Amino acid sequence: MKGLRHERGALSLETLEARAVFDGDVLADLRPNEKNRTKELIEDFMIAANGATTRYLEQKGFPSLRRVLRSPNRWERIVKLAADLGERLPPLPSARALEEFLNKRRRADPARFPDVSLSVVKLLGSGEYVVELPGQRADGHFGLAVKDYTHSTAPNRRYPDLATQRLLKAAMAGSRSPYGDEELTALARHCTEQEDDAAKVERQVRKSAAAILLASRIGERFEAIVAGASEKGTWVRIQRPAVEGKLLRGFEGLDVADQVRVELDHTDVERGFVDFVRSHEAAPRP
């Protein structure tokens, strides 16, 4: 199952999201939450189940709540990232070509592969929920390289999965859809917005944890990678501990995936601020 997915272009990404490690009641570290074979096996089965669900609903003439990740708008930056590492990608988005590039980078430099993965994830953008009505065709999921995909396997913790289970129940019983088309479209939009809000809360908690952990290390310097760059600001990520923070000064000309040396300038636990400056921009300290 895994081999077939990746032959089709499913992306082998390894972002190493941080998890809090406690010593009693004291936050001791933020360590990467690494993948293992068990997690990958579960992921393979869930993706297969989600694809089977959408195809079944389509066969029954039912609408479905799809999970999509559109072709990346910043593909040209991904192409440049590959070029900087001595590889070539086609000018138009190709999941299969990107997966081949990722496999080469994992073999060539496994220690820094999570940095490359993080850059690609940031440039791919975020997923969303959309409705596919009978006879229509929604966008697929670029990262998984599938056209038929939903979220259906976790109705105990995610509302889109519950909605999909209700659609399945009705289809299997030969009943009408429990949702009208407009209602389901509004639900898809609402679920995307709520997911975005939940992600903001999670990021806030992680940032506050990082601020606690780094409060005593003001002035220390780190090797970092640019994790985000927009009009709202530039963010960098350090590896040890696995922390992301805002770059206050020295961000001019930087873009996602650039390597930079930074100095920890300020932390604020309550507001979840972890602020860096570029090391050559750092003001001298008494």
Confidence label for 281 from pLDDT (cuts 50, 70 and 90):
low
Nearest to 122 by CA among 224, 227, 16: 227
Write down all domains in the chain, each with its CATH number in brackets. Answer: 2-205 (no CATH), 214-281 (2.40.50.140)
Q: So what's the pLDDT on residue 100?
A: 94
At residue 6, does pLDDT exceed 70? yes
Give the pLDDT confidence of 116-158 residue by residue, as tens digits: 898 899 899 999 999 999 888 878 999 999 989 999 999 999 9
Q: Is pLDDT at 192 greater than 90 in this prediction?
A: yes
Sequence-distant (6+) residues with CB within 8 A of 82 are 88, 89, 101
> Longest C-alpha distance within the chain, in Å?
76
> For residue 284, what pLDDT is reported?
45
Distances (CA, A) of 7 to 2, 72, 96, 218: 9, 20, 7, 46
Pull the structure tokens for residue 29. Answer: 């570290």
* Terminal alpha carbon distance of the chain: 59
- How confident is the model over 202-260, as pLDDT tens digits? 888 988 999 999 999 999 999 999 988 888 899 999 988 888 899 999 999 999 889 99
Q: What pLDDT is attached to residue 16?
A: 67
Q: Using the Cα atoms of residue 191, residue 231, residue 15 and residue 26 in order, give the sign of their dihedral.
A: negative
Structure tokens at 132: 């596919």
Query: CA–CA separation, 262 vs 119, rounded Å?
Result: 18
Do 20 and 30 form a contact (C-beta atoms < 8 A)? yes
Is-contact 170 178, C-beta < 8 A? Answer: yes
Could you report the per-residue pLDDT of 59-80, keeping only the tens digit for each?
A: 999 999 999 999 998 999 999 9
- Distance from C-alpha of 75 to C-alpha of 50, rounded to nearest angstrom: 27
Q: What angle do CA 271, 275, 276 make, to 5 degrees?
A: 175
Structure tokens at 242: 């696995």
**Predicted local distance difference test score (pLDDT) of residue 111:** 77
What average pLDDT does this structure show over 258-286? Answer: 84
* Percentage, residues of the chain above pLDDT 70: 98
Q: How remote is the C-alpha of 248 from its chain's centroid?
A: 24
CA distance 140 to 150: 10
Rounded average pLDDT over 97-102: 94
Q: What is the mean pLDDT of residues 172-186?
A: 96
* Residue 130: strand pairing partners: 66
- Of 9-23, 60-74, 242-256, 261-275, which range is least confident? 9-23
Range in 80-89, 179-188, 234-243 with the lowest mean pLDDT: 234-243
Q: Flag whether the pTM goes above 0.85.
A: no
> How many Å apart are CA 121 and CA 46, to the nearest integer?
20
Q: How far is CA 199 from the centre of its chain?
A: 10
The answer, yes or no, to whether residue 165 has pLDDT greater than 80, is yes
